C-alpha cells in the first residue's frame, strides 16, 4: 500500500532547517561522471529517492555506484555501455541527462523516453537538435531516443527557449567535441552553473556559465573529480513559504540567498520580514499575508517549481492574486486539489485567479508531482482538521526527511502506510 501523510492544521512553524544539495543538480552531476574514467565523488547530496534511481541507471551503464549518506561515489569504467533501458529510466525525468555524456563518450546513446512528474509535455526536440548541430544523428525509435555520431564537432547552437535539460545535454556532449561550441540562449539556472563548475574541475574548457551565452572548447578527455553539490534553492524556498503561510519564523541555511532573490522579494511583498546571510536566510511572518501576483519564468525569474507554494500562500492571503504559468502547461492540476481544501480559484488558460482569505478545510488530496505534494502539505498546515495527502512518493523524490523536518519545526504531521489513519 502507498504511504500517505496526515497533516493536522493550526501549527505555527518555528526553528531552523539546513538544506542539502539540489535535486535539480545532483542527478545531472551523477550523469556527468560518465564522461571520465575513474572515481568521481559528490558530496552534500540530498538523500532523496531520485538519487538511488539515478544510481541504478549508472550501474546499468557499467558504473559502480556507492551511496553513503550525503556522499555518492561513482566509478566509471574505460568503456561504458550506451543503452539506458526503460526499467532504469521510467521512474524519473532527469534520466534523460545521460544522453549527452553517452553521445560524447561512446558516440552512441539509446535512452528510453523517461517518466516523472505529470506537469505537462517536455519534448526532447531541442536536445536532439543541439546534438545534431554537433554532428550526431538522432531519432525516436521503439520508445527510445537514439543518438549516433562518427565524431562530434563544435558548432554554433541557439536554443528556441532556455531549456535547462537541453542546455545540460548539449554541454555534456560539447566538452568532448572537437573545436569550439557556442551555445546561445542557454539556461542560466544555478544548477547549470554548478554543472559547468564540475565539468571545469574535470578539465573542460567552459566560459560564460550563468549568462545567456556559454562557450565550450572541447578537450580530448576529462578526469574524475570531487565536487560539492550546490544547495537546493527550491527546498529552501519551500521552507520560506512555509514560514509565511503559518505566520511562523524559519531560518534556512545551506543555500546562497542570491539564488532566491526574486522569491524572497515576493515574500517581502506578502508582508514577511526577510533577512539574508552569506549562506542562508530567515523568514518571519507576524500577520496574515498580503496577496501578490506571480508569473513563472526561467532563472532569474520566479521558478515554476515554487509555483504550487505561491498558490498555497495566496489562498491564505488577504486580497486577490493572479498567477501565470509560462513553463509547464499542466502544473495547474495542483489547483484542483487546492479546491478540495476550499480554495477560491478559477483557471483561465495559463492563468489562475485566487481570491484569498477564505478558510481552508481538511480533505483527502493527491500529489501529482514533487512540488505539488509539498504545496499540499503546507496548505494542510493551514486547514481546519486533518488533511490526508496521498501519493507522497512524489515528495520523497525531492524533499529529504520532509516529515521529520516539519515535526522539528512544530508541525503535527505523520506518515502512515495502507489503511492506517483513513
What is the reported pLDDT for 121?
45
Per-residue confidence band for 118, with pLDDT thresholds at 50, 70 and 90: very low
Extract the C-alpha cell encoding 135.
554532428
Q: What is the pTM of this model?
A: 0.94
Q: Give the span between the Cα atoms of 142 and 197, in whole angstroms.
A: 35
User: Which residues are annotated binding-site positions for phosphoenolpyruvate?
Assistant: 23-24
Specify whether 117 is catalytic.
Answer: yes
Is domain 23-217 annotated with CATH 3.30.70.1230?
no
What is the reported pLDDT for 90?
65
Mean of pLDDT over the chain = 93
Fold of 4-19+231-416: UDP-n-acetylglucosamine1-carboxyvinyl-transferase; Chain (3.65.10)
- The one catalytic residue among 50, 117, 194, 396: 117
Domain with CATH 3.65.10.10 in the chain: 4-19+231-416, 23-217
Q: What is the three-class DSSP state of 139?
A: strand
Is 133 within 8 Å of 120 (Cβ atoms)? no
What is the reported pLDDT for 1?
52
**Kind and range of the H or E element at 24?**
helix 23-32
**Kind and range of the H or E element at 3?**
strand 3-8
Per-residue confidence band for 277, with pLDDT thresholds at 50, 70 and 90: very high
Q: What radius of gyration do the chain's Cα atoms show?
A: 21
Is 197 within 8 Å of 228 (Cβ atoms)? no
Q: Give the span between the Cα atoms of 349 and 359, in whole angstroms.
A: 26
**Kind and range of the H or E element at 373?**
helix 370-381
User: Which residues are annotated binding-site positions?
Assistant: 23-24, 93, 305, 327
Q: What is the pLDDT of residues 351-405, one digit of tens each?
A: 999 999 889 999 999 999 999 999 999 999 999 999 999 999 999 999 999 999 9
User: Which residues are annotated binding-site positions for UDP-N-acetyl-alpha-D-glucosamine?
Assistant: 93, 305, 327
Q: What is the pLDDT of residues 219-254, one digit of tens each?
A: 999 999 999 999 999 999 999 999 999 999 999 999
Helix 99-106 × helix 125-133 angle, to 10°: 20
Amino acid at each position: 500500500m502507498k504511504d500517505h501523510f496526515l497533516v493536522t492544521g493550526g501549527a505555527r512553524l518555528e526553528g531552523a532547517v539546513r538544506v542539502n544539495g539540489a535535486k535539480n543538480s545532483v542527478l545531472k552531476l551523477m550523469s556527468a561522471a560518465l564522461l571520465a574514467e575513474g572515481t568521481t565523488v559528490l558530496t552534500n547530496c540530498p538523500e532523496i529517492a531520485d538519487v538511488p534511481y539515478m544510481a541504478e541507471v549508472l550501474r546499468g551503464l557499467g558504473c559502480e555506484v556507492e551511496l553513503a549518506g550525503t556522499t555518492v561515489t561513482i566509478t566509471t569504467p574505460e568503456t561504458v555501455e550506451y543503452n539506458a533501458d526503460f526499467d532504469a529510466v521510467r521512474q524519473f525525468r532527469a534520466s534523460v541527462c545521460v544522453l549527452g555524456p553517452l553521445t560524447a563518450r561512446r558516440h552512441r546513446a539509446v535512452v528510453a523516453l523517461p517518466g516523472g512528474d505529470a506537469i505537462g509535455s517536455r519534448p526532447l526536440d531541442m536536445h536532439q537538435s543541439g546534438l545534431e548541430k554537433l554532428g550526431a544523428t538522432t531519432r525516436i525509435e521503439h520508445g527510445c531516443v537514439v543518438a549516433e555520431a562518427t565524431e562530434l564537432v563544435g558548432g554554433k547552437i541557439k536554443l528556441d527557449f532556455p531549456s535547462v535539460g537541453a542546455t545540460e545535454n548539449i554541454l555534456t556532449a560539447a566538452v568532448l567535441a572537437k573545436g569550439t561550441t557556442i551555445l546561445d540562449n542557454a539556461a542560466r539556472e544555478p544548477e547549470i552553473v554548478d554543472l559547468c563548475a564540475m565539468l571545469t574541475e574535470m578539465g573542460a574548457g567552459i566560459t560564460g556559465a550563468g549568462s545567456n551565452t556559454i562557450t565550450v572548447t572541447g578537450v580530448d578527455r576529462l578526469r574524475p573529480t570531487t565536487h560539492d553539490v550546490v544547495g537546493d534553492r527550491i527546498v529552501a524556498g519551500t521552507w520560506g513559504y512555509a514560514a509565511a503561510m503559518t505566520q511562523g519564523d524559519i531560518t534556512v541555511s545551506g543555500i546562497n540567498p542570491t539564488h532566491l532573490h526574486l522569491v524572497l522579494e515576493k515574500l517581502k511583498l506578502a508582508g514577511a520580514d526577510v533577512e539574508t546571510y552569506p549562506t542562508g536566510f530567515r523568514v518571519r511572518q507576524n500577520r496574515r499575508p498580503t496577496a501578490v501576483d506571480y508569473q513563472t519564468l526561467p532563472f532569474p525569474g520566479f521558478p515554476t517549481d515554487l509555483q504550487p507554494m505561491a498558490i498555497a500562500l495566496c489562498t491564505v492571503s488577504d486580497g486577490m492574486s493572479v498567477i501565470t504559468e509560462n513553463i509547464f502547461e499542466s502544473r495547474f492540476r495542483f489547483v484542483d486539489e487546492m479546491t478540495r481544501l476550499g480554495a477560491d480559484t478559477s483557471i483561465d488558460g495559463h492563468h489562475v485567479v485566487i481570491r484569498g482569505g477564505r478558510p481552508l478545510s481538511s480533505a483527502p488530496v493527491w500529489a501529482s508531482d514533487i512540488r505539488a505534494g509539498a504545496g499540499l502539505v503546507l496548505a494542510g498546515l493551514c486547514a481546519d482538521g486533518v488533511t490526508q495527502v496521498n501519493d507522497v512518493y512524489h515528495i520523497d523524490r525531492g524533499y529529504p526527511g520532509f516529515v521529520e523536518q516539519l515535526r522539528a519545526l512544530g508541525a503535527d504531521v505523520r506518515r502512515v502506510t495502507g489503511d492506517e489513519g483513513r
